[in-house]
Structure 1
Amino acid sequence: MKGIVFTEFLDMVENEFSYEVADKIIEENSLASNGAYTSVGNYDNAEMIMLITSLSKHVNTPAEQLAAHYGKYLLNRFFILFPHFFTSVSTTFDFLDTIDRHVHVEVKKLYSDAELPSFETKRISERKMQMFYRSGNPFACLAGGLIEGACEKFNEKITIKKDISADHMSATFTLTKED
């Protein structure tokens, strides 16, 4: 998993909880990286699971809820760090359509070793879309948070029905635009 996912996670923890909590969740886990991440490095996804699980215990919030919250946070950060991915789209559906066909293509050009999830979309109607998430990592809740973040960023009221697999490695998100 790319280091930017880790560096942004720890920034979120520091900003929204505290530096002390960030230090605790690093210190209490046996991390191969020792919690020293660079945005371009590659790290074991198990470390992210350990960090989220530890954070869950410290802030008394379910890990799935924290992963989704982080997804929303990460979408906002991507909007700031990579604005070119958002300039040619004006709706959530349009943006979600670009993830596999544009965003991930560009990421692979920069980081050929990046292990990226699949985000396949299917337009059912003007107001309804399905997104199929598949990954070798159990981060379907984080993906759901990214979708929620996109809805907020594009200022759209969209109901999201989530069907997440037990292992969190796949999910179907059904998005319906509200009036």
Structure 2
Amino acid sequence: MVDAAGVGGVYTSLGSYPDADVLALVDTAAAATGQSASQVLRWFGRQGLPVLVERFPQFVAGHNHARGFISSLNTIIHPEVRKLYTGAVCPHFHFNDGPDGALLMGYQSPRRMCALAEGMITGASDLFDETVHIEHLACMLDGQPLCRLAVRWPA
């Protein structure tokens, strides 16, 4: 995959890598699998969340549901990521409760990888053995200033 993407180097969990390398790898994976880049990012987020939790179980400590865990991204997880990876560029999330009980989530990141966030939400729901429905209401990839998601967990 690295050779096909035309990127060089050794990639480990301890490093931080140029966005262009990540995007080249995503595009290469998409071409190899016949999926879109968004589908690859969703898959990676969903599969990557359990690995993250395995390495850093303190991130989920005290959470009994995906909603609470997801709502803690800005205050618990991202500060720890910044400690571990100096210079890490983390997305910023905005949270509100919708009138229908949905978690309304805003996503802002210069990387514009909202599909990765969607995959991680699904991965978190898997972790807590919950079903989740995500509706993408607005998207940075369509020229919007931020992505807006409605996240629902059926009763």
With normalisation by structure 1, the TM-score equals: 0.78
Cα distance between partner residues in 2 of 1:126 and 1:92 = 18
Per the alignment, residue 134 of structure 1 pairs with: 108
1:123-177 CA-partner distances (Å, limit 9, x unpaired): 2368321111110102111111001111111112222111322268842110122
1:42 paired with 2:22, answer no
8 Å CA contact 1:121–1:132 kept in 2: the answer is yes
Q: CA deviation at 1:56?
A: 1.2
Cα distance between partner residues in 2 of 1:75 and 1:39 = 14
1:165 paired with 2:136, answer no
Cα distance between partner residues in 2 of 1:152 and 1:130 = 19
Per the alignment, residue 83 of structure 1 pairs with: 57
Summarize the alignment of residues 8-157 of structure 1 with structure 2, pairs less than 5 Å apart: 25-31=1-7, 34-124=8-98, 127-157=101-131
Higher relative contact order (CA 8 A, sep 6+): 2
Cα distance between partner residues in 2 of 1:28 and 1:86 = 36
Cα distance between partner residues in 1 of 2:27 and 2:102 = 34
Cα distance between partner residues in 2 of 1:132 and 1:117 = 10
Cα distance between partner residues in 2 of 1:158 and 1:28 = 35
Counterparts in 2 of 1:57 and 1:51: CA distance versus 1, 3 Å? same
Unaligned runs of 5+ in 2: none
2:51 maps to amino acid: R
With normalisation by structure 2, the TM-score equals: 0.89
8 Å CA contact 2:112–2:141 kept in 1: the answer is no
8 Å CA contact 1:96–1:121 kept in 2: the answer is no
2:105 maps to amino acid: M
Unaligned runs of 5+ in 1: 1-24
Cα distance between partner residues in 2 of 1:92 and 1:126 = 18
Aligned length: 153
